[in-house]
Structure 1
């Protein structure tokens, strides 16, 4: 055997030499995926600024911590990972009105790492309104004769309204804001009621100049043009707004027995208008001294055609959900709402009862994930052990099980709720809603 060894070794060496130059035998470099998240704070007139009072926890499938990342001064978190899909949690400081600083925690399950994400912060004391110009005055609206005014709708905030006479309505304490040196935003008023013959009548006005004056009063005249649209023979009760110029206009509540609806469809912004309608159906409300809970279904439609908006209708068939004991939320932190088929994503929100703990901040935690899985709040959030734990008391549980008419792909859902808003996704959206308050 020894004298044959060289004959055997030569071919082996040749094979090894040839193989050493082949790229197929090289160890492939591990793939790297870049994750980017930006956070913004929006002021009174809609200007955005960066927000950096937050951090991101990168987590595994069981919500155990892998790494923490703090936002930079530009409100950005960016990191690379070898995972194509990740779980992560945003832990952001939040503050409203005169309240103390709290925590807004938002978790996302199995998102595409390379999909950009965004977070909209709420922190009133950091909000910079120096670039805003706000004027507050009253508005006097002249309109057609109304024997009775049943409702008014405005796109602006105001303190109160009153009927001066059958052809004049008065709004006090109206506030309108704009970016300094910019044009005033388009605002609207809609008045609905009965005319002199007790027939349905409406009037509307569009305003776009809110420069203050000595009288502290803006004068407006109502448009007279509207279209009487026939409603479907069978339709749900619903509410509808017309959306244009970055505002919500001409809100109206439609009763299930209404047969026709006046629609403002010939104003100068009609080419950019979208009609937003929504309806709901309540399966059950439990209201006692120990708890309040509500279980219902909701539907929204957004369309450039008002006839489409009229077809909005919440689900009438009650799904198999335990709205009394919330047994789908197990004691071990798992949950299972997969019995609601065709609804790919769940939003679970917990408002924690921190009032009994001295100096404890308010904490709200939201999960966006599949309809079956494990709650991120069932795992201790590292660095916040003194604020919130898996055993912390919850005063309000808020659950939405969501379905879009445009897609059934989970990736599309989780991308939308990461801040990548897509009109098509939300144009036809349904969800079941459960809320429990102890």
Structure 2
């Protein structure tokens, strides 16, 4: 039996030859990997031309949301730095202003964002918009269409103030605002009417134009595209459909849970460019006196180049498992846990504050449970918003894309400019559970 034994000396030599001794092979130092983080901050004018927005700061933070360093953008609205961390926590704090409202703060926090993903911030600050390259005109538009006995819906891809019926075949769109470039290029725009004919049949009429002569007293457009009826699937739910053409929404149509069909314009000349965006929803009012308002909702969205395929959708029929009636998923120390509402890799949580020295909105992007960025002081803004500042509303959006269950895919989508792409693959089949609380 001894012939199978190895002597201690031979064993030592064997182990050394196989790397058993560290003294004969010194360790090679590992070079740290560096990531070049870059974020572009932009403000878009009324005719869709972007420009740099510089009234924003980036707070680089640790896992407890303590601020490590503050970065400002360059003159091109770009914030960039080098980090050895593949994933980082950061908060954007930007000045914000809309219409006649007072200036406020828009705050966005991202948990474990990708350092290598080009990031984007889309600003909203109407008083800073540079429209020198635009011309904006507001006039009335007279729409000629087939005869309607009644009208149930009047829509346009452009902003307008109101509408009125001139006669059964003519509708006036009042205060239509259109903005184009100085060289006379106007946006591709739509106008539509839904209603019933003399036989009480549901009908629609629609059309497109990019002809807006600034010298006309009233714009006039004749439309000939008709809407077709699409049957909805049981169980019937509140359903909407719109079309995404050249990055713009057109022809919003809606059906309540008591209706079994939906009108859709699917025969116009731009069908080959259209994406049909359909949404079904089920709403659960939860008011019981603890909150001024409490509403939960299930949503299912499908986007397809085929109208019928976009209507193959079903929102969850049962109330999401939020902790009713206390809704204490968010603890006093701002730890949160929405994992009881199963199947949603991302939580988007919005807080609005109105009782501060200036209004503020804080949006957090993170996984289904964790620690909110509002748990730590917001460096440089402690005199405006504090840890104990009480929000007026809390809106929770739990998101599930059919495309992926990987949280990193979700945060990359929302930190980057792909979130601006309304037909991105990520949102083509998406479900959500939502909770809206008004305190």
1:287 CA displacement:
7.0
Candidates 32, 36, 39, aligned match of 2:38 = 36
1:341 CA displacement:
2.0
Candidates 376, 390, 406, aligned match of 1:379 = 376
- Alignment map for 1:124-163 (pairs within 5 Å): 124-163=126-165
Does 224-233 or 373-382 show the bigger shift? 224-233
1:245 CA displacement:
2.8
For 1:414 and 1:281, the matched residues in 2 are separated by 26
For 2:39 and 2:56, the matched residues in 1 are separated by 11
For 2:339 and 2:242, the matched residues in 1 are separated by 33
For 1:289 and 1:163, the matched residues in 2 are separated by 45
For 1:225 and 1:433, the matched residues in 2 are separated by 35
Residue aligning to 1:99: 101
CA spacing shift, 1:386–1:234, aligned 2, 3 Å: closer
Residue aligning to 1:389: 386
1:404 CA displacement:
0.7
- Provide, for residues 302-353 of structure 1, a one-character-per-residue CA deviation record: whole Å limited to 9, x for no partner: 1111012212322112232114322111112211111222200001111124
Q: 2:203–2:227: 8 Å Cα contact kept in structure 1?
A: no
| Matching of residue 278 in structure 1 with residue 275 in structure 2 | no
CA spacing shift, 1:112–1:245, aligned 2, 3 Å: closer
Residue aligning to 2:316: 315
What is the aligned residue count?
414
- Provide, for residues 85-117 of structure 1, a one-character-per-residue CA deviation record: whole Å limited to 9, x for no partner: 111111111122233332111111112211111
For 1:110 and 1:211, the matched residues in 2 are separated by 50
- Alignment map for 1:3-402 (pairs within 5 Å): 25-214=27-216, 216-232=217-233, 234-286=235-287, 291-355=292-356, 360-402=357-399
Other structure's SS at 2:37 match: strand
CA spacing shift, 1:226–1:192, aligned 2, 3 Å: closer
Residue aligning to 1:4: none
| Matching of residue 404 in structure 1 with residue 401 in structure 2 | yes
For 1:319 and 1:257, the matched residues in 2 are separated by 22
Other structure's SS at 1:63 match: coil
Residue aligning to 1:418: 415
Q: 1:141–1:220: 8 Å Cα contact kept in structure 2?
A: yes
Q: 2:192–2:207: 8 Å Cα contact kept in structure 1?
A: yes
Does 265-274 or 34-43 show the bigger shift? 265-274
CA spacing shift, 1:388–1:259, aligned 2, 3 Å: closer
1:56 CA displacement:
1.0
- Provide, for residues 114-162 of structure 1, a one-character-per-residue CA deviation record: whole Å limited to 9, x for no partner: 1111000111111111111112211111111222222212111212211
Other structure's SS at 1:25 match: coil
For 2:390 and 2:226, the matched residues in 1 are separated by 55
Other structure's SS at 2:415 match: coil
Q: 1:161–1:172: 8 Å Cα contact kept in structure 2?
A: yes
1:373 CA displacement:
0.5
For 1:340 and 1:210, the matched residues in 2 are separated by 50
Other structure's SS at 1:212 match: coil
1:182 CA displacement:
4.7
CA spacing shift, 1:165–1:432, aligned 2, 3 Å: same
Which consecutive unaligned segments of at least 5 residues does structure 1 have?
1-18
For 2:291 and 2:111, the matched residues in 1 are separated by 33
- Provide, for residues 64-90 of structure 1, a one-character-per-residue CA deviation record: whole Å limited to 9, x for no partner: 122111111111111111111111111
For 2:398 and 2:274, the matched residues in 1 are separated by 29
1:225 CA displacement:
4.2
1:276 CA displacement:
0.9
For 1:41 and 1:437, the matched residues in 2 are separated by 30
Q: 2:253–2:264: 8 Å Cα contact kept in structure 1?
A: no
Other structure's SS at 1:417 match: helix
For 1:262 and 1:400, the matched residues in 2 are separated by 29
Q: 1:47–1:179: 8 Å Cα contact kept in structure 2?
A: no
